[in-house]
Amino acid sequence: MIWKRFKKNKLAVAGLIFICISLLVSVMGYIVVPDHTADVNIMYPDIALKKPGFSCNYLKVKSKSSEKKTKSFFSFFKGWDSDFDLISIDTFWQKNDSIYFKNYNNLLIQNIHKSEIYNLNNISLKRISVLGTDRYGRDLLSRLVIGTRVSIAVGLVAVFISVIIGLLMGLLAGYFRGWVDGVIMWLINIIWSLPTLMFVIALTFAIGKGFWQIFVAIGLTSWVELARIVRGQVFSIREKEFIQAATVMGFSNIRIIVKHILPNIWGTVIIMSVANFASAILLEAGLSFLGQGLQPPAPSLGQMIKENYAFIVFDASHLAIFPGLMIALLVMSVNFIGNGLRDALDVNE
Amino acid sequence: MSLIKISEFNAIAEDIHLVKDVSFDVDEGKITGIVGESGSGKSVTCMGITKLLPKTVKINGNVLFTKNDGKTIDLLHCNENELTKLRGKEISYVFQEPMTALNPVYTCGFQVCEAILAHQKINKNELKSKVLNLFGEVKLPDTERIFNSYPHQISGGQRQRVMIAMALANNPRLLIADEPTTALDASVQKSIIDLMVEMVKKRGMSMIFISHDLNCLKSVANHIIVMYKGQIVETGDKNKIFENPSHPYTKALMKTRPDYKNAGYILPTISDLIGQNENGEFFEKKFEVIKRNKNLIGNKILDVNNITKSYFKNSFFAKNKNSQAVIKGISFSAYSNSTIGIVGESGCGKSTLAKILTNLEKETSGDFKNLSTDKSKIQMVFQDPYSSLNPTITAGEAISEPMIVNKINSKKNTKQETLKLLELTGLTADFYYKYPHQMSGGQRQRVCIARALSTKPSILILDEAVSALDVSVQSQILNLLKDLQSKLSLTYLFISHDLNIVGYMADEIIILKNGKIEEQGKLPEILNNPQTEYTKFLINCIYN
């Protein structure tokens, strides 16, 4: 029934498809991206600032770093080191026991011993940087995917935290009223009177700047609106006679709240959560842009814009445009879904 | 001469005929009453003739209206501009709910001024004196104060008077009143009806008066139209309709009314009285009046001892607490297998009393004792069947939940017991899986009654339990309640503002006024020999 009505809204369905694809790609994350090292941080200074669709040959040589992380379950979240290093080249040839090669766009000929090659049967590989490379020669597509993953994760966790706190606070304030409502509203008003960005920055100073800290900081600020709306809804539902009937029937407060009030406000909560999801993504991007979010080299959309916005006026504007576009598309899709849901869940129609 | 001539008026929404082939005239200076249950199409007709219905409802037919300047126009073929000029000036409306029909953020005076300025050019001083005159005309007290009051600051009856003043402001030729007194107290109803009739007669206007209550039209209309399922089933002169009704539905409407006189009998319902043959024609069914067995009144089961209830206005700045007494010392006893009717206007404290007896609120002083042997709690059935069921829960769950929570039955037996309760309240087993929005008002109220009975109470409070229901459904529910009482030896506290229904239901009666018992005693004695002025007034309002 709800799905039937939701389907009618073309934009919402388009948003849903886009979010599903982004979700799928970012869940797979390091498995699907070309560069699967932690934080997508392998730099190729030779091929910095290349246009989208740039392709180049690489020589596979044995990895120099002595300590190598083994692939484990956590690699799925953090990425893993390659067994080999890559050197970007124009051409290479074999002579005796040495491999001679010319670095990319470099006339100088260098050579290395055969033993340093990772696999003699398959000395080189060709790779296309679909979205080009940034100023350190890092693959932009990989960074974009992992950055999107961070954004979606921030959105989900922030929504999760805000729904738990907001729902609890809203239900308590709306149901018990009196001094409980007074205390919670006091808290809400205080948090509301602080500019959100300032508050999150202050929080990150207190609890540190990292992956999980961002989640907590954003979650702790975005419950406020949800709590207020839930409170208002509970106020009106509480006055309905079926709640009085439940009280007369001898139901406990918890039962009334969970079984009789909560199912009647799910629609509102879902719609609010979707809106919170979008604003959490924006907030994270803003924080990262200001340098208060994820710390480099970890990729996040806001931080990618920050790193690259200077290039907008040069010939590499795509470096800032792609992450910017990604943020815009994510937020827009989420908002379309929210609008679609609001219409679909509206009982009055 | 007819002022408005409606012929073959149809309203169709999604292929369903809301109104079918309705034709009638309203003569100049005459009052036409339309009576019918909800869904009969009476409101749709009256909104439709000035195209006030939503665009999804398709209307056709002819509505010829004779304007002030003598020209006759067809309202259904007018454009929106022409209609706007007519509405409020030549045809005006008074609606049911005076609280929502007035805008709460403007003063009453401002809103009436606005209605005048929409159609007349008039200067400021003249305007105000005109509105004050109007207020005087509709018998509002202290006109200057009301002019500057917001709608919530005045009583329901006064609000309806303001609405009437607004409707009369531009001297319309036709007034359409859609259940103007339904939301008001019985004692106020009569004075509002009298006022409207007086105004209409004095100004030589015509009026269409819509009501669900045939008796209400008795003192109003010259001409009565009876509507049923979107069609006119009978029209005629007032006297003819009341003294010699010809259509089975009209006859059924009169017989199905609960009343003190038919108290000992099973109420006939509309479906008992009329049927419809294959051609869609209505016929009269034979109905034998069946007398109920007299209830044997049992032991004392509830003892209420001098209960009072005050609300404290807790002000943050002021130290002194103002208390407002809502109930000022009420004592009575109830006996098993009997019904106490509690009658009073809104604000007399009858609902607060119900809340105290069901522990929804705490009494300020006094106490009450539940003397039933099993000490089961007092249960309650509420007025509005639409808001007293949780929309997200099926009927079966709603009925079984109290049994599970109060551990009355084992899990296995609960479903069995629920089905039994559904059957007891006249519902089939498939209602177990139905949600409230899949049921009609009467069915919902049956579920509410089944739910209240699930904890096996011996005392049931019925707080205006049939007030929101249609006449035909009302009689079914009242019969059900009577049957349940004799089957389960229940004690009812029947709270109502309607003395007719209480007269049908109750053995004893308590009349409340301003939180005090005005009069109490056995029902026939009170009705036949009222002691206080207030009781006499109430009885006069209803039984005239």
Q: What are the tens digits of pLDDT across the range B279-334?
A: 777 888 777 778 887 777 888 888 898 899 888 765 555 555 567 788 888 999 99
Give the gap in angstroms from C-alpha A171 to the nearest C-alpha of chain B. 17
The reply to whether A21 falls in a domain is no
Cβ <8 Å between A244 and B359? no
Position A9 in a domain: no
**Any residues with CB less than 8 A from the CB of B148 and at least 6 apart, and which?**
B107, B109
Inter-chain CB proximity B387 and A241 less than 8 Å:
yes
**C-alpha to C-alpha distance for B32 and A312, rounded to whole angstroms:** 78
Residue A294: name the closest of A100, A105, A153 by CA: A153
CB contact under 8 A, B451 and A245: yes
Write down which residue in A117, A134, A151 finishes a domain: A134
Locate A239 and state its tokens.
């006055």
Please answer yes or no on whether A251 and B402 come within 8 Å at the CB atom: yes
Under the banding of pLDDT at 50, 70 and 90, the label for residue B471 is confident
Q: Does A258 touch chain B (CB under 8 A)?
A: no
One domain for residues A120 and A173 = no
**Sign of the Cα pseudo-torsion (B118, B120, B124, B129, in order):** negative
* Residue A307 and residue A179 share a domain: yes
Same domain, A128 and A191: no
The least confident of B82-96, B158-172, B269-283, B480-494 is: B269-283
Å between B442 CA and nearest CA of chain A: 16
Q: Which residues of B touch A247 (CB under 8 A)?
A: 358-360
Q: How many pairs of residues across A and B have Cβ atoms under 8 Å apart?
A: 61
Q: What is the mean pLDDT of residues A292-312?
A: 83
Q: Convert the pLDDT of each residue in B64-116 to its tens digit.
A: 888 888 888 888 888 888 888 888 888 898 888 777 888 888 999 999 998 88
Phi, psi (deg, nearest 5) at residue A131: -105, 15
| Residue A38 domain flag | no
> What's the pLDDT score for residue A349?
40
B130-144 average pLDDT score:
88
Residue B491 main-chain phi, psi, to 5 deg: -105, 125
**pLDDT tens by residue, A233-274:** 999 998 888 998 888 888 899 999 998 999 889 888 988 898
Report d(CA B175, CA B155) in Å as an integer.
23
Average pLDDT over every residue of A1-18: 87
> Which of A177, A241, A255 is the mutation pick for testing B, counting most B CBs within 10 A?
A241
How confident is the model at residue A16, as a pLDDT? 92
| Chain B residues inside the 8 Å CB shell of A259 | 393, 401
Specify the length of chain A in residues: 349
- Cα separation, A42 vs A40, in Å, equals 6
pLDDT, chain A, mean: 84
Domain end residue (candidates: A134, A160, A184): A134
d(CA B453, CA A67): 75
Domain endpoint, select from A115, A134, A153: A134
- Whether residues A194 and A284 share a domain: the answer is yes
Question: Where is average pLDDT lowest: A7-16, A141-150, A287-296, B240-249?
Answer: A287-296
CB-CB under 8 Å, B383 with A248 = no
CA of B132 vs chain A CAs: smallest distance (Å): 38
Measured between CA atoms, the residue of chain B closest to residue A252 is B405
Q: What is the mean pLDDT of residues B355-366?
A: 88
**Is there a contact between B405 and A240 if contact means CB atoms under 8 Å apart?**
no
- The residue-averaged pLDDT of B409-431 equals 88
Residue with tokens 């239900």: A171
For B381-392, the pLDDT digits (tens) are: 988 888 889 988
Residue A197 sits in the same domain as residue A219: yes
Tell if the CB–CB gap between B377 and A248 is shorter than 8 Å.
yes
Helix (H, G, I), strand (E, B) or coil at B209: strand
Residue A102 within any structural domain of the chain: yes
Which of B390, B438, B459 would best serve as a mutation to test chain A binding (most A beta carbons within 10 A)? Answer: B390
Distance CA B474, CA B468 (A): 9
Tell me if A214 sits within 8 A of A294, measured CB to CB: yes
DSSP assignments along B52-110, one per residue: -S-TTEEEEEEEEEE-TTS-EEEGGGS-HHHHHHHBTTTEEEE-S-HHHHS-TTS-HHH
Report chain B residues whose CB lies below 8 A from the CB of A347.
391
Percent of chain A at pLDDT > 70 equals: 96
**What pLDDT does A170 receive?**
94
Phi, psi of B74 (to 5 degrees): -95, 110
With respect to residue A162, please indicate whether it lies within any of the assigned structural domains: yes
Q: Please give the full DSSP string across A1-67, using - where no structure is assigned.
A: -HHHHHHH-HHHHHHHHHHHHHHHHHHHGGGTSS--SGGG----GGGTTPPTTEEEEEEEEE---SS
Substitution target from B375, B381, B387, B462 for chain A, most A beta carbons within 10 A = B387
Mean pLDDT computed over B480-489:
90
List the beta bridge partners of residue B323.
B312
pLDDT digits (tens, 9 = 90+) for A48-78: 777 787 888 887 777 766 555 566 777 777 7
Bridge partners of B177?
Answer: B94, B209
A41, A42, A47, A49 alpha-carbon torsion, rounded to 10°: 0
Q: Is A263 on the interface with B (CB under 8 A)?
A: yes
Q: What one-character DSSP code corresponds to residue A259?
A: I
Q: Say yes or no to pLDDT of B218 above 80.
A: yes
Helix (H) or strand (E) holding B302: strand B300-313
> Can you tell me the distance from the alpha carbon of B39 to that of B229, in angstroms, rounded to the nearest whole number?
6
ipTM of the complex: 0.76
A118 and A150 share one domain = no
Residue B216 CA: distances (Å) to CA of B94, B211, B346, B541:
16, 7, 20, 11
Residues A133, A139: contact at Cβ < 8 Å? yes
Distance CA B431, CA B446 (A): 11
Give tens-digit pLDDT for A104-126: 777 788 888 877 777 777 777 78
CB B180 within 8 A of CB B96: yes
Arithmetic mean of pLDDT, B222-230: 89
Domain that holds residue A195: 141-344
Q: Which residues of B touch A (CB under 8 A)?
A: 355, 358-360, 377-380, 382-384, 387-393, 401-402, 405-406, 448, 451-452, 455
Q: What is the model's pLDDT at position A328?
A: 93
Residue A249 domain-assigned? yes
Instruction: Provide, as residue numbers in chain A, all residues whose Cβ is less than 8 Å from the Cβ of B352.
Output: none
Smallest CA–CA distance from B437 into chain A, residue? A347
For residues A218 and A81, state if they share a domain. no
In B260-394, which residue ranges form alpha helices assigned H by DSSP? 270-273, 350-357
| Cα–Cα distance measured from residue B93 to residue B175, given in angstroms and rounded to the nearest whole number | 6
Tell me: do A107 and A147 sit in the same domain.
Answer: no
A162 shares a domain with A288: yes
**What integer pLDDT is reported at residue B530 of this predicted model?**
87
Q: Does A178 touch chain B (CB under 8 A)?
A: no
> B317 in helix, strand or coil?
coil
A86 shares its domain with A185 = no
Task: Determine whether the interchain pair B382/A244 forms a contact, defined as Cβ–Cβ distance below 8 Å.
Answer: yes
Q: pLDDT, tens digit, for every residue of B368-407?
A: 888 877 667 789 998 888 888 998 889 999 999 998 888 8
Q: Does the beta-carbon distance from A251 to B405 stay under 8 Å?
A: yes
A268–B contact, CB cutoff 8 A: no
- For residue B391, give how far its alpha carbon lies from the nearest alpha carbon of chain A (Å): 8
Between A143 and A59, the more confident residue is A143
Same domain, A238 and A275: yes
Q: What is the CATH number of the domain that holds A236?
A: 1.10.3720.10
pTM assigned to the model: 0.80
Number of domains in chain A: 2
Q: Which residue of B has its CA nearest to A243?
A: B388
Average pLDDT, stretch B335-340?
90
Q: Which two tokens stand for residue B61?
A: 């037919």
Q: Is residue A241 part of a domain?
A: yes
Asked if residue A157 and residue A116 are part of one domain, the reply reads no
Residue A192 lies in a domain: yes
- Could B377 and A259 be called an inter-chain contact, meaning their C-beta atoms sit closer than 8 Å? no
Identify all chain A residues contacting B448, using CB atoms and an 8 Å cutoff: 245
- Give yes or no for residue B263 having a pLDDT over 90: no
Residue of A nearest to B452 (CA): A249
- A228 touching B, CB under 8 A? no
Percent of chain B with pLDDT over 70: 97
